[in-house]
């Protein structure tokens, strides 16, 4: 299989210049598994991307938290994929639930963003996940399949895509999907990719988990066969992010 463990840190709308420098210095000093064991990507707010990119250790990479759906122009307040390429930012997060729910980004809009970013050579962390109401209604798998289907309809090459399953009810709430719950959805997503895209894509695409991941639960989550890493929110701003990265060793030894 050989899916390299992936740990992303989504800093969301947090930080000052001084705080960012402090986070970077903690990351730079951290002892973590080598690049052949784990791929680490951190995602600061747009305004701090150049600072983080120039000061961060070379074995960690940087992602933007969003980009516009097409070429730049008269779109006040937006940042285009072309600008990210120009700044040599390799990764972008697209379709985070906060953007889907608060800013009403539809499955189709997210899929168009993913396709456009990929077309310019960016790598994409594409986020999917259900709300508490959807989980309680028993429609989790249908919801994430529909979100994935929209993306699959717009792209043909999945090499540069990491799928991030983030149950909305577990983001920033302290509630975490149990390892069994996370693995069940990851497993269903992989089956969906196998049936609807290809067995190769299903076997090679990394499906990572996000939703109140901490150093306390990351080892147990990492041990699940279909959990290929994490998209970490609040804990990525703290020193414990280093411990979460170390959970890649659990996967290596599994």
Within a 10 A sphere around the Cβ of 9, how many other Cβ atoms?
A: 26
133 as an active site residue: the answer is no
Q: What is the largest CA-CA distance in the chain?
A: 51
As a dihedral over the C-alpha atoms of residue 225, residue 226, residue 231, residue 237, rounded to 10 degrees, the angle is -10
**From 61, 96, 183, 186, active-site residue:** 96
**From 98, 105, 130, 166, active-site residue:** 166
Q: Are 45 and 64 in contact (CB under 8 A)?
A: no
70's tokens: 């097409």
Q: Which positions ≥6 away from 24 have C-beta within 8 Å?
A: 51, 52, 55, 56
Q: Spell 68-94 as b/e; 16+ CB within 10 A means b.
A: bbeeeeeeeeebbbbbbbeeebbbbbb
3-state secondary structure of 2: coil
CA distance 53 to 63: 9
Among 8, 43, 41, which Cα is nearest to 230's?
A: 8
CA distance 189 to 148: 8
Phi then psi for 206, rounded to 5 degrees?
Answer: -80, 130
**Helix (H) or strand (E) segment spanning residue 196:** helix 179-196
186 as an active site residue: the answer is no
Catalytic residues: 96, 166
């Amino acid at each position: 299989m050989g899916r390299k463990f992936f740990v992303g840190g989504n800093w969301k709308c947090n930080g000052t210049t001084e705080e960012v420098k402090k986070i970077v210095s903690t990351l730079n000093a951290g002892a973590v598994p080598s690049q052949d064991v784990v791929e680490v990507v951190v995602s600061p707010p747009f305004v701090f991307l150049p600072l983080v990119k120039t000061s961060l250790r070379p074995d960690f990479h940087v992602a933007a938290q969003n980009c516009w759906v097409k070429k730049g122009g008269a779109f006040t307040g937006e940042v285009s994929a072309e600008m990210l390429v120009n700044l040599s930012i390799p990764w972008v997060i697209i379709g985070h639930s906060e953007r889907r729910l608060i800013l009403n980004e539809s499955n189709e809009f997210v899929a168009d963003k993913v396709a456009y970013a990929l077309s310019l050579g960016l790598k994409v962390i594409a986020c999917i996940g259900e709300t508490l109401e959807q989980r309680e209604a028993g429609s989790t798998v249908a919801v994430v399949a529909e979100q994935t289907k929209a993306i699959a309809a717009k792209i043909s090459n999945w090499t540069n895509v990491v799928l991030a399953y983030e149950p909305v009810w577990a983001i920033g709430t302290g509630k975490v999907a149990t390892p069994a719950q996370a693995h069940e959805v990851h497993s269903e997503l992989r089956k969906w990719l196998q049936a609807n895209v290809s067995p190769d894509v299903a076997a090679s695409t990394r499906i990572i988990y996000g939703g109140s991941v901490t150093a306390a639960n990351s080892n147990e989550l990492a041990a699940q066969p279909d959990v290929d890493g994490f998209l970490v929110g609040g804990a990525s701003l703290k020193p414990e992010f280093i411990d979460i990265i170390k959970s890649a060793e659990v996967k290596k030894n599994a």
